[in-house]
Amino acid sequence: MAEEAILGYLAKNEEIGDSGEFASKHGLNHDEVVNVIKSLHGFRYVEAQDIKRESWVLTNEGKLYADTGSPEAQLFLAIPPEGGIPREELQIKLGPLLFKIGCAQAAKNRWVDMGGQQVTRRVQHVDDRVKDLLLKIKEGQVVDQDDIKALKARKLIVPQTWNGYSLKKGPDYAPQRKKFAADLTREMLQSGDWKNVEFKEYNFNAKGQPIEAGHLHPLNKVRHQLRMIFLQMGFEEMPTDRYVESSFWNFDALFQPQQHPARDSHDTFYLKVPSTTKELPEDYVERVKCVHESGGYGSRGYEYDWSREEANKNLLRTHTTAVSARMLYNLAQDTLKKPFTPKRYFSIDRVFRNEAVDRTHLAEFHQIEGLICDRGLTLGDLIGVLHDFFSRLGMSKLRFKPAYNPYTEPSMEIFSYHEGFGKWVEVGNSGMFRPEMLLPMGLPEDVRVIAWGLSLERPTMIMYGYNNIRDLFGHKVDLGLIKTNPICRLGL
């Protein structure tokens, strides 16, 4: 609107002398006109010269008197024409402030007689000039300089600078703004139009649009980095798509006795439907039963009656070592057909434990597990590979503490020195799988498996500064935080 009016006017006229007058003549809002002028000036359609004008605006007090009349006029009207009014009564009628101002001004104007106790009118009629002047100024009319001075002294008006422009055609004037092409299109190239089109210049100062996109959860980001570390170290990922597992693979295959407390329903979630597994490799089950009951391979076993029913029970896997057991069993099966080949395997996935939830524990979390399977491996190899692995996570000071797992011997808890916390923190668990686990599977006798595990949540919480696991995982997670989380890198 304003743009058309300005460019159209300049097509027929030399100049626009005053943007304020132009705006009111064309029924336009002056602020809008000013914005258009700035834009047209930027593109050199017009030349603009600043105009500054002092104008006057009413103060709050000025506005009040413009509505209700000046205090002196109010005072005059409050005095009865005949006989006057006692001072006190007049003061109560007007209020102390209006009374004070009104008295002073009315006396100066010689409108009233303040002598003695009684206030009386000195004239029959008064004109409220102050109110009239205020109304004139409000409407933007010109007022005499002496009157301005007087109103300003009474703080009924204050100056305000008015900014406007005078305009002339600019060097790139056109009666209509040219449309610039923002993109070079396939059609322009085909038709040859690109030769005639004027392209919009790049605005290198423009801010990019915020991108509304999907955001990866911190656990996903850290999992990705860990996966990369394992892949760089030559590990293959194991298939972990099996939350429901049989007790057999989760415990029995790992030489975990059936009376072990971890197998209690207070620690493990068992399934009601389907409550048992249908298929287990029977000859292998037989060997596992034997090793539990009476040992073999140089072991005494646990010397108890092993129950097939117990092994058949379905559960939510309590550790990803169940996956490792299946993989090692498959690897052993392969050696029936072809020579044994060493393997490096890893997994990162969810496990479940029947735990009371608190700020560091959830009933479901993620485990990271790595294992190497080769002939003649030693505890020294395990310590070496742990140093390699953990230093890639930024933990190069490690300590090991003897520990116990039913399926590893020896076993070691892994501690890392945390510079920020200034202390040693437990970062994982490790060991060499027992012969009672590996030999029933059918792996060659000199094959050893070194393995370690840790949670995904722990390093993620440390890196992202979470101190309550429920802020990281579960129904209390703040989605906004996932969008605004910083980029964190393991090992930096």
Closest distance of CB 251 from ligand PHE, Å = 11
Q: Would you tell me the crossing angle of helices 71-78 and 129-138 to the nearest 10 degrees?
A: 140
- Our finding on whether 245 is near ligand PHE (CB under 6 A) is no
Dist. CA 262–CA 315, nearest whole Å: 12
For ligand PHE, the closer of residues 99 and 255 by Cβ is 255
Closest distance of CB 466 from ligand PHE, Å = 21
- Our finding on whether 247 is near ligand PHE (CB under 6 A) is no
For ligand PHE, the closer of residues 74 and 430 by Cβ is 430
**Nearest alpha carbon to residue 127 among 54, 77, 56:** 77
Residue 475's alpha-carbon distances to 78, 234, 469, 471, 485, in angstroms, are 73, 36, 11, 9, 18
Dist. CA 358–CA 78, nearest whole Å: 78
Closest distance of CB 403 from ligand PHE, Å = 8
- Minimal CB distance residue for ligand PHE: 453
- Neighbouring CB atoms inside 10 A of 479's CB total 8
Dist. CA 10–CA 18, nearest whole Å: 13
Report cis status (omega within 30 of 0) of the bond before 486.
no
Q: Which listed residue (240, 314, 321, 416) binds ligand PHE by CB under 6 A?
A: 321
Within 34-73, the residues that bind ligand PHE by CB under 6 A are none
Q: Which listed residue (366, 430, 441, 466) binds ligand PHE by CB under 6 A?
A: 430
- Our finding on whether 408 is near ligand PHE (CB under 6 A) is yes
Within 387-406, the residues that bind ligand PHE by CB under 6 A are 405
For ligand PHE, the closer of residues 45 and 352 by Cβ is 352
For ligand PHE, the closer of residues 87 and 227 by Cβ is 227
- Neighbouring CB atoms inside 10 A of 27's CB total 8
Closest distance of CB 360 from ligand PHE, Å = 15
Distance of CA 256 to the CA centre of its chain: 45
Per-residue binder mask for ligand PHE (CB under 6 A), 439-458, x = binder: ------------xxx-----
Dist. CA 128–CA 331, nearest whole Å: 108
How many Å from the N-terminal Cα to the C-terminal Cα in the chain? 58
Closest distance of CB 407 from ligand PHE, Å = 7
3-state secondary structure of 90: helix
Q: What are the structure tokens assigned to 418, written together?
A: 């945390």
3-state secondary structure of 68: helix
- Our finding on whether 429 is near ligand PHE (CB under 6 A) is yes
For ligand PHE, the closer of residues 165 and 345 by Cβ is 345
- Neighbouring CB atoms inside 10 A of 260's CB total 14
- Our finding on whether 347 is near ligand PHE (CB under 6 A) is no
- Our finding on whether 346 is near ligand PHE (CB under 6 A) is no
- Our finding on whether 319 is near ligand PHE (CB under 6 A) is yes
Closest distance of CB 338 from ligand PHE, Å = 27
Kind plus residue range of the DSSP H or E element containing 9: helix 2-12
Within 353-382, the residues that bind ligand PHE by CB under 6 A are 369
- Our finding on whether 256 is near ligand PHE (CB under 6 A) is no
For ligand PHE, the closer of residues 167 and 412 by Cβ is 412
Kind plus residue range of the DSSP H or E element containing 388: helix 379-392
Binding window for ligand PHE (CB under 6 A); candidates: 1-9, 169-177, 279-287, 425-433: 425-433
Chain residues that interact with ligand PHE, rule: CB under 6 A: 319, 321, 369, 405, 408, 429-431, 451-453
